Every structure is written in C-alpha cells, then in structure tokens.
Structure 1
C-alpha cells in the first residue's frame, strides 16, 4: 500500500503542478497558450486511451509486473521532463508520465478491492482519497514556490526521488494478489476503445482552446467519431463471450449511481480548479504562488476529511454523507458565482474549503458503495470503467468551463466602449468566471437529483470471503 500510495501521490501531483507553470513555460519555451494546453491535453488523452485497456491488463499481468511497468514509465517521463530543453521533449515526457499514472490508478483500486473486506473498504478508499485529493491540492502551491525561487524543471526533480523510493519499496515488498484469467485479446475492441475514448477526450480538450471552440470542424469530427466508435465498441462487448471491458457492470444500479457521482465530482473539481486560479491571477492580480497558497487549505481539508468520511461510510453507509455533501458543494458554488475583485481572500478560502469538504463527503463513499455491489470477477472491469469515465469527465468539465469563461469575456468586451481598458478586461474576467461557477453549480444539482436514489450495498459474508480469497 505504501508503494502504491507514494507513486499515486506523485502521479496526481505531476498532473496539477504543471498547470501553475503554464504562463512561465509560455515565456521560456516561446509557445502560445493553445500550444501549452497540449501539455494537459496530451496527458489526459494518454490516460483516456490507456485506462480503458487496464481491465484487460489486470487480468493478463501480475500485480508486481504492472506496478514495475507503471513506475518505469513514470520515472522515465519524470527524468526526461526534468531535463527537457524544448516543448516537444516535454510533451513526450508528459505522455510517458501519463502512461505510468494510467497503469497505476486502476491497479491501486483493484488491489484495495482484493485485499480489504467490504466492511473495511471505506477507510482504505478514504486513504486513497487523501492521496488523490491532497496531491493535486498542494501541487500548485509547491510548483509556485519552486518557480519563484528556482525553475520549472525542479517540479520534476523534486518528484524523481519519491518515485525511485516507491519502486524500491514495491520490488522488495509487493505481492501478487490478483488472479490471472488471461482472456482473449481482441484487437478490434482495443482499436475502437482507443478511437472512441481518445476522440471524445481530444474533442472536448480541443474545444477549450482557441477562438473557434465548439464550432471548430476538428472538434465536431473528433467527438462524432469518438461517439460512433464507442457505440460500436459497446455493441461488440455485449456480443463477445470474453469482452475486453465487461459492460455487465452497468446491470448493478448502485455501481451506476457511484459512477455518476464520480463523473459529476470530477467535472466540478477540474472545472473549478482551473477557473479559480485563473481568476485569482488574472482577475485579482495575485502571483502564482499566492494563488496556489489560497487553494491549499481547501485541499488539505479535503485530503484529511477523506479517511474520516471513509470510516463514517463503513459505519453509516453513503446516503447520509452524499446528499449533505452535494448540498454543501452547491451552496459554495452559488456563493462563488457572485465573487468580484472586491471579495475578500478569506471569503474565497472559506468557500473553496466548503466545496472541497463537500466533495470528500461524496466521492469516496459513492465510489466505494458502487464497487461493493460488483462480484469479485468484475472488479477489474469496474475500476477500469470508473477510472476511464473520470478522465472523460475531466476533459468535458475543463473544456465547458473554459468555453463559458471565454464566451462570457467575449460578450462583455464586445459591448464595451473601451475593450482594451485593463479595468474592463478585469470586469470581463469576473463575468466569465461567475458564469463558469454557475455551470459547476448546475452539474452539482444534477448530481443531487441522482443522489436521492443511493442506498447502502449489503455485502454477504460469502461474497466478502470470495473477495478476500
């Protein structure tokens, strides 16, 4: 668990730490904002392609083999990124890092499902929640500090020793816990999955760039091809005796509700984690380090609340955590949709902290409850589906939030008498950001409507013993 948690922490840290360095990278590497965006898009795209195949990989390769492969990709990617002389080399390094994270996340969830009995899973998933949420939260703060005193390369130099430590730990202590069934590899399914999920992630990510946005023919074509490929992929999986991704997981209603909760949470987090730092820097004129520092209390609270929520879930089930959690998130986003440059920093820290505490009440309890309903032979498929949908949700949330922000700014400046006036640009940024937070609030209310159908999964002792076996 220590090996998995350290490497998971660094994987998630790398995902957000570079976001705060984007403006610095644009100056140093002489690239435009849409080009720099590819450092995030490339990362998400690799995850979107690799994670759906992870269910198959978990049934073909041992725990140790997958862990060592995952860490090897991450170490190579981090080392290349630390020494990257140009944008192209840095982009290749990011793809290697994403390959490592894409293998690690499903492996981590699957291992927990195997080695912990259902009545202890909430607490174990809570510890994962601490890692998954705490790492992205401190990423911007540490990155801001490193950029202020050193260079962006040090984001990666700092990560490298931890990855090497996790690899040594894993080689010495990791045991093989999964059962290998080695199902038939269907190349057409892999191709359809790659084109389907890759097309959707690419399309939505591309929509968040440039001026054309959703009207861009490439965006429309990518999303259309992705959806058609996914439809054919789904029909093929349902007809196969040994599918690459077993869609029988959708027959379990609590799994579907848990999946939707995770989908909504990922959209809320990634959209707000992108818009809020942008507003703090470009709207309120704060430095990257200060903006990162303001988001730290919420991230720390979320991280430390996750294990507590996991323990409460084990005792009381998901309903009394998920519904109040979503009400808290909706209220925080409602108030965030009214922030202006006159808003105090204390208010922004409080609202962000409330939102992150609410997310901790929803994410892990709903996810654990959903996975608990699956029989042990569907664990690899369940974790693959959940982790894939997280990447798709991240791409959709980010793209829609950026589009709403851009459109709000364009509409305001279009009707302005002096659109080049810095005060008018700040006002436009405020309007765009408020609209983006309203979008996140609507997503939260949709999640709340679904949450009323959630109920606790009672796992029989025989199923518990089967999962332990």
Structure 2
C-alpha cells in the first residue's frame, strides 16, 4: 500500500482530509475501526499469563512449555513485523485489514478447539502473524489521513490499543478464568473479533494506492531469523544457565547485522525490505530510543508485580488482575487527554514530566516489602502507567511526524519491531537480575521469600537507573516535529543530441 500522497493531494496542501474521511476535528472512521481491531488482537499477547497453571494441569505440560504460549506470540511478532513495511506498500488498506484479521480469526478458532499443546502453540503463532500487521497498518494509516494539527488527539486513542491492551491482558484473563476453562479466553474473543472484522470490511475505505514491488527473500529470512532469535534468546534468560541464551542472542545479533548490511545495499536501488533511512531523522531516532526504554519499564513491572503479589503476598490471579487494572484503565483514559494537550502545547510539556514520573514510580518500587500497603502498590503502578501514557502518545506522534510520508510504513514497522525486542529485553533483564540476586542471597543463608524480595528490589533499582536515560532523551526532543519536504523524483538530464534550444521550448510537440 503506497501511502505517500499523490500529486493531487499535494496540491491540496498539508492537512487536507484523505479520501473517505470527513474533514474536521473528528476521528476518521477508518482510524476508529483500526483502533478497535488492534486493541482486540494485541490484547491476546498477554492474555495467557494467568492461564499457565490451568494449562499445565489440562494439557499435562511443564511450566516452561506453557510459557512458550506467550513467548511464541512475542517471537512471531518480532519475526513478522519487519516485513510489514514492504507488505503495506504492496496491498490496499482493505486487503491488508482482511488478511490480518482473517489470519487472527483462524488462529483464535484453532486455539479454542486445540486438542493438544502442539496445536495450541501453532494457533498462537497464527494469531501473532495477524496481530503483527495491525499495529503498523494503524500507525501508517493514521499518519496519512489525519491532519498534523489533530494527530496528538487521535494518537491518544491509538495509545490505548498499543499500550493498554498488553497491560489489560492479565486482568481480563483473570476475570474470564473465574468462569471456566482456559478455552473461554479464545471463545470470548472470537465473536468480538468476528464482529469487528465484518464491520471493518463493510465500512473501511482504501487509503492510497498499492505499489507493485518485489520482495527480497534473503532479507525476509535474515529478519525473521535475527529478530526471532534475539527475542527467543532473551526470553530464555532466567530459566537456569546463561550460556545457551547468550549464544542464541549472539546468533540473532549476527543475523540482524547481515540484515542491516543487506538493507543498505538494497537502499541504493530503493527496494529495501525495511528502509533504514528512517534513522537518519534525529527526532524519529530519539523517539524510538525513548519508546524502547518505556516499554522495557512497563514490561519489567508487568513481570515483577504478579510474582510479588501472588508468590510473596498470596493473592489470587483474579485479585492480582483487579489490583493492577486501575493502572491500565488510567493509561487508556489519559490517552485522549494527553493527545489534546500535545496538539495545543507540543511534546516537551508532556514527555519530560512523563519520563520523570516513570523514574519516581520505579524508585518507589525499590522499597517493596512483605508489609507494603496495597494502596501504595496501586498508587505506584498507576503513577507508572499514567507517566507512560504522558510519554507514549507524544513520542509516537513526534517520531513518525518527523518522517516524510513515503517512509511512514517503514517507520511504523521499525517501531513495532523494536517494541517487541524491548519487551523481551526488559523481561529478560528483570528476571535474570532477580534470579541471580536471589541465588546469591540463598547461598548467604536467607529464606527463599527474603531472597526473592531482594532480587526484585535490585531489578527495580536497575530499571529505575535505565529510566533516568528517558529523562535525558526527553530533554533533547523538540516541541513539535518538522517533517522534511517531499522531494520529487529527479528528472534525468537529456542526452546531448536530445537537448532543446530556447527556441525549441516554445514549440508544440509534434506527434
């Protein structure tokens, strides 16, 4: 799907509504439909976390095998998203939506009836393949159809889909699991996703025109192997032993280096799978780094808090989900408000306090204990999510807004890929630090509970230290993005025997 404006659009000037969208300050219908669909599919990334004990019993599998249902989802996302930049330029909006939601529905239906673990794992991979397309499709379409003056407000709504959905997954699954089997997690999603798909296909209009291009299959293989190995290797840390995960991560890094070299070569012919020229734009590169650190902080807390509340404080999965739910709701409710503030005042007034709030929240979690009041845990978690909401919306809008329109799909693809890598790295970091510290403390003779608590404190200390970098990056970001001017394709100079004289230019062409 070529989402760059055509010559007619450029004549209308910036901020003109795209075909199929109503002018004004309302959110375009295409964006509302894509937000709903994206929320539903991304929710499934973390919905299996609370179902692990029941899966172990019903399918007769180990905890490590059950964890693969979440790991495989994240791994598939990391492997598929790099291809979406090319894919979205090749197909229409409706076709991209139909393929993504059709694949997701197929995976969900298969998961609901999966008789054995291997089939359920395959279903999760199919689900993730559809999910991987939705976020880049949403972000690319938004940057194309929404005028610059309204992007912050609309992006605030988008924040709910891409940030709140993973945070809400454990809480939603905790509620559903109280009603019965783990299969209900998929049975409940199936009709909702089906209805959204039907409504979307009935009302969705194409944005831009598809652009025929070939795909470099070597790049596809290198991207899938590199990013997939990196996420898988990072997810293996904390399972006991670091040698094998380190080798897998190193292999992934080598394949990513090969992928980068290949893209640099393809860029000279203007046919890269993922256009790395997006990184030449300073505001986008800074936004990408800040976003990665923010997702590391969010996923680290999502991993540590359930362990703390369930293993050390004795809460049930449902109670844990209800305790962290207000934080997820706060992030969702603040998204549109943050977007309006961004449209009026720019990014710095939001991103700098948001980054500082993340530091304060993580610093507060370094003081967790067996007697910390639950209201304090709730308050710190809400501060963390509200601060991330204040940062994410401006960062997404500012970063993509700094790119020329023909790079929107590639910028969205890279953002989605790095989000998965950052989530895996954040998870691996806190789990490894916590486990390592706990082992050391147990060797010193302390109890398992005290050792694990000390490990969590150290993990939060390191997370807080990394989040300080967010503040530094926030101070470097501009108030608003200044997109580069669209440069027309250069016209080749005529050959010597074809050059026209000044008199020739006044003549009408013959034939």
On whether the aligned pair clears a TM of 0.5, the verdict is: yes
TM-score (norm 2): 0.86
Give distance in 1, aligned partners of 2:166 and 2:279. 30
- Give the match for residue 201 of structure 1: 231
Per mean C-alpha deviation after superposition, the further-off stretch among 221-230 and 281-290 is 221-230
- Give the match for residue 319 of structure 2: 290
- Give the match for residue 377 of structure 1: 406
Give distance in 1, aligned partners of 2:106 and 2:33. 17
Give, in angstroms, the shift of residue 458 of structure 1. Answer: 4.5
Give distance in 1, aligned partners of 2:135 and 2:328. 20
- Give the match for residue 420 of structure 1: none
Bigger share in helix:
1
Among residues 224, 240, 243, which one is paired with 1:215 in the alignment? 243
- Give the match for residue 252 of structure 1: 281
SS at match of 1:15: coil
SS at match of 1:16: coil
1:232 aligns with 2:278: no
- Give the match for residue 89 of structure 1: 119
After superposition, the C-alpha distances for 1:92-145 in whole angstroms (9 at most, x for unaligned) are: 111011011101111111111111011111111110112233323332222112
Q: Deviating runs (4+, > 4 A) in structure 1?
A: 458-463
For the 8 Å contact 1:7–1:162, the answer to whether it is kept is no
Per mean C-alpha deviation after superposition, the further-off stretch among 83-92 and 49-58 is 83-92
Give, in angstroms, the shift of residue 328 of structure 1. Answer: 0.9
Give distance in 1, aligned partners of 2:318 and 2:483. 50
Give, in angstroms, the shift of residue 60 of structure 1. Answer: 0.9
Over aligned residue pairs, what C-alpha RMSD do you find? 1.6
For the 8 Å contact 1:6–1:162, the answer to whether it is kept is no
For the 8 Å contact 1:118–1:459, the answer to whether it is kept is no
SS at match of 2:109: helix
Give, in angstroms, the shift of residue 457 of structure 1. Answer: 3.4
After superposition, the C-alpha distances for 1:256-312 in whole angstroms (9 at most, x for unaligned) are: 011011111111111110110111000101000000000011110111111111111
Give, in angstroms, the shift of residue 148 of structure 1. Answer: 2.2
Give, in angstroms, the shift of residue 206 of structure 1. Answer: 1.8
Per mean C-alpha deviation after superposition, the further-off stretch among 186-195 and 453-462 is 453-462
- Give the match for residue 179 of structure 1: 209
- Give the match for residue 479 of structure 2: 456
After superposition, the C-alpha distances for 1:17-67 in whole angstroms (9 at most, x for unaligned) are: 211112222222222222112111111111011000000001111111110
Correspondence 1:384-463 to 2 at 5 A:
384-416=413-445, 424-459=447-482
After superposition, the C-alpha distances for 1:207-243 in whole angstroms (9 at most, x for unaligned) are: 24x211x222xx2232222112221221221222121
Give distance in 2, aligned partners of 1:382 and 1:146. 36
Count of residues in correspondence between the two structures: 453
Per mean C-alpha deviation after superposition, the further-off stretch among 254-263 and 239-248 is 239-248
Q: Which has the larger radius of gyration?
A: 2
Give distance in 2, aligned partners of 1:385 and 1:134. 20
SS at match of 1:452: helix
- Give the match for residue 6 of structure 2: none
Among residues 261, 265, 268, which one is paired with 2:294 in the alignment? 265
SS at match of 2:412: helix
